[in-house]
Structure 1
Amino acid sequence: MDQDAAVTALGALAQDTRLSVFRLLVKAGPNGMTAGDIATAVGAPPSTMSHHLGGLERAGLASSRRDGRAVIYAADYEGTRRLLAFLMEDCCQGRPEICGSGIAAPVNCTTC
């Protein structure tokens, strides 16, 4: 990931609704959720949800797929890993072992 892409991703997360949506999608796992279910879960107007989901997709933090007439949104785990790796790339003067497991998958993460 280059710096411009990282700025785009961080910018997408620097808004309350989009951060809530992203965290919800991470919890939902690879099966994802429909935009309507996401809007209900985060308490956002459905009319604005496509804007927020589009921002997360453009930032490489979410993806969408068609399932019949529904569009299912899910976290883009690879995009998230790229962002975390970029942020931790030069950790501790090139000695990432000092920093601990900052980008390791959580112990209870079955989809990571």
Structure 2
Amino acid sequence: MEHNTATHALAALGHNTRLSVFRLLVQAGRSGRLAGEIAADLGLPGATLSFHLKELSAAGLVSAESRGRSICYRADFEAMNGLISYLTENCCAGEADCGPAGQCAPSC
């Protein structure tokens, strides 16, 4: 992942509502959620949700698919994992047991 891509993704996730939307989509897994369901679960007006989904999509964190008259949104797990990898790629000087799976906890 490039530095500018990571910056854009982190900026998108740096907003309370967008982080809530993204976490909801991560919880939904690969099946995703319909826009109306997201709005209802988070208590958001449609226009507000649409704005935040557009920002998450522009950052490459969310994809959309038409399902008849509705739109299904999904978290882009490859992008999410790429961001996590970018943030931790030099963690603990490259020790094998360091990083998200090893619960990075530098001793110094």
TM norm structure 2: 0.87
* Aligned-CA RMSD value: 1.6
- Determine the C-alpha separation between the residues in 2 that align with 1:61 and 1:48: 18
- Determine the C-alpha separation between the residues in 2 that align with 1:65 and 1:46: 17
Within 5 Å, give how 1:5-84 maps onto structure 2.
5-84=5-84
- What is aligned with 1:95? 95
**Structure 2 residue identity aligned to 1:81:** N
- Per the alignment, do residues 90 and 66 of structure 1 end up closer, same or farther by CA in structure 2, a change over 3 Å counting? same
Identity of aligned residues (%): 46
Q: CA deviation at 1:99?
A: 4.0
- Determine the C-alpha separation between the residues in 1 that align with 2:96 and 2:13: 25
Deviates most, 11-20 or 37-46: 37-46
- Per the alignment, do residues 91 and 30 of structure 1 end up closer, same or farther by CA in structure 2, a change over 3 Å counting? same
Q: CA deviation at 1:34?
A: 1.4
Structure 1 or 2, whichever has the larger Rg, is 2
**Structure 2 residue identity aligned to 1:61:** L
| Alignment gaps of 5+ in structure 2 | 104-108
- What is aligned with 2:106? none
Are the aligned partners of 1:90 and 1:96 in contact in 2 as well (CA < 8 Å)? no
What secondary structure sits across from 1:72 in the alignment?
A: strand
Deviates most, 57-66 or 16-25: 57-66
- Determine the C-alpha separation between the residues in 2 that align with 1:18 and 1:86: 20
- Determine the C-alpha separation between the residues in 2 that align with 1:65 and 1:48: 19
Q: CA deviation at 1:35?
A: 1.3
TM norm structure 1: 0.85
Q: CA deviation at 1:56?
A: 0.9
What secondary structure sits across from 1:66 in the alignment?
A: strand
- Determine the C-alpha separation between the residues in 2 that align with 1:79 and 1:70: 24
Instruction: List 4+ stretches of structure 1 deviating above 2 A.
Output: none
| Alignment gaps of 5+ in structure 1 | 104-112
- Determine the C-alpha separation between the residues in 1 that align with 2:102 and 2:64: 27
Q: CA deviation at 1:102?
A: 5.3
